[in-house]
Amino acid sequence: MCGIAGAISFNEDMREDMKIYENMQHALLRRGPDQRGIVLTKESALIHTRLAVIDVQNGRQPMSYGKYTIVYNGELYNTAEIRKELEKEFEFDTHSDTEVVLKSFVKWGEKCLDRFNGIYAFAVYDEHKHRLFMARDRIGVKPFFYYMNDNKFIFASEIPALLQHPDVPHEIDTQGVSELILMSPGRTASCGVIRGIKEVKAGWCGYYTADGLELHQYWRLKAYELHETFEQTTEHVRELVLDSIRRQLVSDVPVCTFLSGGLDSSLISSVASTEMKKHGKILDTFSIDYRDNDKYFQKSHFQPDSDPEYIQCMADYLGTNHHWTVVDTPELVNALYDATEARGLPGMADVDASLLIFCREIKKYGTVALSGECADEIFGGYPWYRDKDIRMTDGFPWAQSTAYRKNFLSEYYSEKINAEEYVYSAYRNTADYAMKLPSDSPLEYRMREMTQLNFDWFMQTLLDRKDRMSMYSGLEVRVPFCDYRIAEYLYNVPWEYKDYQGREKGLLREAMKEWLPDKVLWRKKSPYPKTHNPAFLEAVTDKLKAILEEKDNILFDLVKREELEKLTRHEDYVQWYGQLMNLPQTIAFFLQLDHWLKCYNIKLI
C-alpha cells in the first residue's frame, strides 16, 4: 500500500511547483514510509510514497513504460494470472503488481479493470495522448480524492495532502456543514466535505483531458436469479471465502491477523494459520482491550459478552503467537486528535482512536494484516437486517437521529438546511438505486435495498476508518470479505439461506463450520470493542467544557453552544451513529470537529 498524489494542467508548466509537490508528498509519508518519488513533465506531476510489500527492491514508483507513467496504491490478488497472460507480449523488469497494472492498462486500456481482483486506486498519465486515467477498486477499499478548477486537476489518497496545494480552498459550505452534522461519520459517496473536494466513487473510473473530467461506472452490484440449493450455495460460499483469504496471504513481508474472538476475524485467522503451518510458520494474531474493561463491562442486547474469553479460545485452538494491546483512557483521549488528522475529517471518536493505537502496535511486528471487515454487510450480520421493524423503517437503520442532530446546527445553518430532506433524499436515492428483479418477493426486494444501503454507507464508513487508521502507521490491512466475487454472489443469495437457523450470518457459519470450535462458531455477534470506563466520559466532558470557555471559536458559528453545554451535563441524548456512538462518543466527535476546524484552518462560507 502507498500514498499517491499528483496534478495535471494543460496551460501551466507543472515543473515550476516542485515545493508544492514535496509538501503534498510529505503529507502522505505515513502511508508510504519506505520509498518516495516524484516525476515531473510540463503537463503532469506524479507523486508517490511507498509501503513496500511485494518486490521490495524493485517496485519503486512513479513507474514508467514508454509514454505511460503510473502511481498506484493497492494490491492485486490475481497478479500471477494476469502477468502470465501479459508475458506473451511484454517483458517484465520487476515482480511487483504495479508493473502488472501498468502493462495491463497499456494493453487493454480501461478494460483491464474487468480482470483485476484487488483493492486499488491508481492514476496513469499518457504523455502521448495528453490524458490522465484514474480508477478506484470495485468495493472502495482504497481512496482517491480530487479537486479541479479551470486550470488544473489535483488528486491525492488523502484530503490533508490535497490541502497542501494552494489552489485547494480550506472552506466548507452548506453541503459540507450538512455532511458534518447530519451524516458524520458517514459521508455521501463522492463528497469530500471540503468545498470542491470530491472522491472517485467505488467501482468508477475515468479520464481527465484538456476537455475536462469524465467519470463513469465500470462495476456495480447486479441482480440475477440464483438457481442453487442451500447445499450448493454453502459449498460455493466456502470456496469463495477460502480462495479470497488464501490469495490475500501472498506477501514478501510478514503477514498477521486481527483477532477479536468473533466469527469473521476468527475464520480468517484459522485459514491463515493453517496455510502458514504448511510452511512451518506460526501466525501472529493481535487483539485489543481496554484498561479495567473487565471491571466496567456492561452487558447489552448488542454486546452480551466481552471478547477476551473467545480470543483466548481461538489463540489456544490455533496455537498462534498472540499479542494484546491494552489501551488506557488518557492514551485513548489523546489519540482522538491524531485519528482526526489520519481520517482528514472528524470521525468515529474513540472507535477510530483505538484502532489507530492498535494499528501502531501491530506495525511493530509486521507490515500486512488481515481483518474481518465487510462480512456483516455482505452476509447480513447486523441487527437491522434481522429485526423486522428496524429493517422496514424508512430511513438509514443505523442513524435514526436526524431530529436530534439538527438541534446542534447554529441558527444561521438551521435556516439554510432542511435536515430531514437532506438525509432522507440520500437514503432514498441509495435504496432506489439497488437493482431488483420482478420476481423478488417483498422481503427480497427490501433486503436488496438494505444490502445496497449498507454497501454504500455503513461499509464505506468502516473502510475509510480501516484505511486511514492503519495507513497512519504504514500498516497495510487487507479485507478478504471485500472480494468483489463474494459481494456479487451474496447479493443474489436468498435471505432464507443467509438467515440459516435464524442466526446472523447463518450461511457463513454453516459454510465454514469445519474451521472453528463451536464456542466461537455460534457466538452471538459482538460489535467492535470500546471502553466502558466512566473515566473516558469524564475526560472528554472536561475537554468539551474547556472548549466552551473559548470566546472566539469557529465551532460556535457552526454549532449551538447551548447544545454542547447540554452534552456536558449528560442530559437526554440519542445514539449518534448506531450502537457505536453513544454519549461519550458524541462528545468526543465534537472534540474532533473542533480540532479539525483549527488544524486545517477551515473557513465557513
Residues annotated as catalytic (active site), given as ranges: 2
In terms of Cβ atoms closer than 10 Å to its own Cβ (0-12, 13-18, 19+), residue 311 is buried
C-alpha–C-alpha distance, residues 505 and 147, integer Å: 40
**What is d(CA 154, CA 5) in angstroms, rounded to the nearest whole number?**
8
528 within 8 A of 567, measured Cβ to Cβ: no
Q: Which three cell numbers stand for residue 115?
A: 480482470
Q: How many CA atoms lie within 13 A of 107 on its CB side?
A: 19
Residue 377: Cβ-neighbour burial (10 angstroms; 0-12, 13-18, 19+): buried
Q: What is the 3-state secondary structure (H, E, C) of 499-512?
A: CHHHCCCHHHHHHC
On whether the CB atoms of residues 463 and 140 are closer than 8 A, the answer is yes
C-alpha distances (whole Å) from 421 to each of 28, 176, 395, 443, 484 are 37, 15, 11, 26, 32
Q: What SS3 class is residue 431?
A: helix
Asked whether the beta carbons of 335 and 354 are under 8 A apart, the reply is yes
Cβ pair 121, 136 in contact under 8 A: yes
- Alpha carbon distance 514, 76 (integer Å): 28
DSSP calls for 173-239: -HHHHHIIIIITTS--TTB-SSTTEEEPPTTEEEEEETTEEEEEE------------HHHHHHHHHH
Considering all CA atoms of the chain, what is the largest pairwise distance in Å, rounded to the nearest integer? 70
DSSP letter string over 118-139? EEEEEEEEETTTTEEEEEE-SS
Residue that is written with C-alpha cell 490535497 in the block: 162
* Burial environment of residue 280 by CB neighbours within 10 A (0 to 12, 13 to 18, 19 or more): exposed
Question: Is 172 in a helix, a strand, or coil?
Answer: strand
